[in-house]
Structure 1
């Protein structure tokens, strides 16, 4: 695991729902997910709304309960079993793993100045001993996020969406973490501001040697930013590969459908989008066999009865589909 920061094996997250002691159902938000996130990488996680992306990210931060399988964190200084982590270890892990929230408007307290917002993790975690030390650290991180001293005196309402997201990024960075989950962190921003924030994240990753899990539904953003991408559907990984390989030759029908929906910049290109019929099935009443078979145009009886395993060809390109080889054959020809 020398090059792996986070390793999940069969990780599951379930939430009991329903009334009464004997009528409870389990909502499987994340179901048997295995993945490796390498140190210093920008790992992308994509899928439709309701596919379990956010819950998986929170489970790796130990902010959602791990109800099956497990996950391991190792940064060269500490090794933590996230399923059985102690209170003292969790306190230290909070310094090493942070979250950038999706909504920069709701994530910041309107009653605190920017200086106090960024300084709060330092004070809560006891990372600085004096106010002067705290202020020095806040100014250092603010400068990395392109915030000046005047900004630190203001309240969040005085800033635009892009500026607020830079404040959120600064708050996440101030404890000097090793691992950051960016949950749809540019989804609420204008396109031009998105590019600015993404470039900032890439620059910070390079300067500080951080590892990112970047959760998004925007495939064009993922293509620009990430080194490795995993595709999630109904709580499970259906495909994972290095970004270039995945975008050059997607194998799973769900991945192909997502890619075909990316708008073209060519005004004469009418596109060949593969329309997916129906909605994602309920996590409390999942279909048998392949979870995607209810919406897949290539599903056969075997798909409906037997659940496919995530298999690899040895190049790091994993796919969970019974028919991917025969479906790729016409394209290869």
Structure 2
């Protein structure tokens, strides 16, 4: 895997104004000061609870929501784009280089279009082909990569299962020849057996086409199967980031450890050992001071309530945002 960076962000923030009236508007910080590096050809995972900002981060990198502060760059060796100011013809060009695979395969496809027309739509909208024959050739090529046959192309989405629909969604994302794909909970709505098939398809396509994926998920077992590097998000911030195996073998942040302890185990002796987190994730419009996790952390002290911890490097490629990660690593089993 090349270590040339495709996506790089520094202190990236995304904010939304909510409410109405001059005095009642609030600022929702969906993404707050995110710095990540995604190497070309990698499978980069982002995990966290619902409301942690995972999807908003992915959409910001796709230029689907405005970036409020910070820096974000895309560089595939052919073009170098500043995503914070991208507009006009450059934004149109970026659309074919960065694509999204949606979570729900049932809602993502138009019931009034055939599979052929669904996959061909990006080519026609972006003007990437000059004739119907060229479009059909490209559609057939991508459909074959996604294990769809010619008979499938004539049908409508209602004739397919969830796994087949997701393969159609993947084909639509690939047809424009992108370099970067955000897969937003792309197997969450599928049965477990179908999940494995779709994940193996994504990994196969990634290797064959040299693609870079941001894989957003709440399922840690899925992330362990697919991703090279994982960033753990909580309330719009990254609390821990490391290569996948290193993170699973030696998690440092209390939140990460709590997530790992909740993974179901087939070992009867491991049952009942999950670290329960008290309370709910705080509202993004009313975030606590200091460490965002201190309201639910069993190890929080006064400094956690006052000061926000930086994202410190504890090992090569492994960073953690916690005031007490060193003593917790010594005293609390990972």
- What is the 5 A alignment of 1:77-88? 77-88=78-89
Q: How far apart, in 2, do the equivalents of 1:215 and 1:332 lie? A: 27
**1:2–1:76 Cα contact (<8 Å) kept:** no
Deviations along 1:177-219, one digit per CA (max 9) or x if unpaired, are: 0000000000000000000000000000000000000000000
Aligned-pair distance for 1:331? 5.0
**1:264–1:271 Cα contact (<8 Å) kept:** no
Q: How far apart, in 2, do the equivalents of 1:237 and 1:175 lie? A: 31
Q: How far apart, in 2, do the equivalents of 1:332 and 1:257 lie? A: 11
Residue aligning to 1:209 = 210
Q: How far apart, in 1, do the equivalents of 2:28 and 2:73 lie? A: 24
Larger deviation, residues 271-280 vs 218-227: 271-280
Q: How far apart, in 2, do the equivalents of 1:70 and 1:283 lie? A: 22
Please give the TM-score of this superposition, normalised by the length of structure 2: 0.98
Q: What are structure 1's unaligned runs of at least 5 residues? A: none
Aligned-pair distance for 1:19? 1.4
Residue aligning to 1:303 = 304
Q: How far apart, in 1, do the equivalents of 2:8 and 2:316 lie? A: 18
Residue aligning to 2:69 = 68
Residue aligning to 2:32 = 31
Please give the TM-score of this superposition, normalised by the length of structure 1: 0.98
Residue aligning to 2:234 = 233
Instruction: Give every structure 1 segment of 4 or more consecutive aligned residues whose post-TM-superposition deviation is greater than 4 Å.
Output: none
Q: What are structure 2's unaligned runs of at least 5 residues? A: none
1:42 aligns with 2:63: no
Residue aligning to 1:281 = 282
Q: How far apart, in 1, do the equivalents of 2:243 and 2:97 lie? A: 25
Count residues in correspondence.
333
Q: How far apart, in 1, do the equivalents of 2:246 and 2:208 lie? A: 27
SS at match of 2:247: helix
Residue aligning to 1:114 = 115
SS at match of 1:313: strand
SS at match of 1:129: coil
1:99 aligns with 2:91: no
Residue aligning to 1:52 = 53
Aligned-pair distance for 1:332? 7.8
